[in-house]
Structure 1
Amino acid sequence: MYTRNEEGLLNNYATEPAVYFAEYPSPEQQQRYALQGAIAVLLVALTVLTAFAVS
């Protein structure tokens, strides 16, 4: 999509995607998110503990 001003210059605009509402995650997705969060917490804790042990 584009517009043209009075001097004849073009101004391009990006096409906008269709808008939709997000769906609530299923119980399986919620469990997977919880597992991913737990793994992330363990990884960060291990990294911090390793940094303290090395220093």
Structure 2
Amino acid sequence: MYTTVNEDGVLNNYATEPKMYYAEYPAIWQQRKYVIQAVFASAIVSTLVLVAFSVS
């Protein structure tokens, strides 16, 4: 931890910064997995909306 003291004697603690890295573009199989998740999420939301309309 990095600590400094100003002229009034107040301590300032700074957290250590994590190492930076760049994100990589998802592979084809990961993109397909995201599409399947989106389809299931859309189906669940659509079902919930239809049930809500049919009940009310």
Structure 2 counterpart SS, 1:42: helix
Q: C-alpha deviations, 1:13-51, integer Å up to 9, x for none?
A: 222111111001011100100001111111110110010
Give 5+ residue unaligned stretches, structure 1: none
- Cα offset, 1:9, TM superposition: 1.3
Count of aligned positions: 55
**In structure 1, what is the equivalent of residue 13 of structure 2?**
12
**In structure 2, what is the equivalent of residue 38 of structure 1?**
39
Q: Please, what TM-score do these two structures have when normalized by structure 2?
A: 0.88
Q: Please, what TM-score do these two structures have when normalized by structure 1?
A: 0.90
Over the residues paired in the alignment, what is the CA RMSD in angstroms?
Answer: 0.9
Q: How does 1:18-29 map to 2 (within 5 A)?
A: 18-29=19-30
Moved beyond 4 Å, runs of 4+:
none
Identity of aligned residues (%): 53
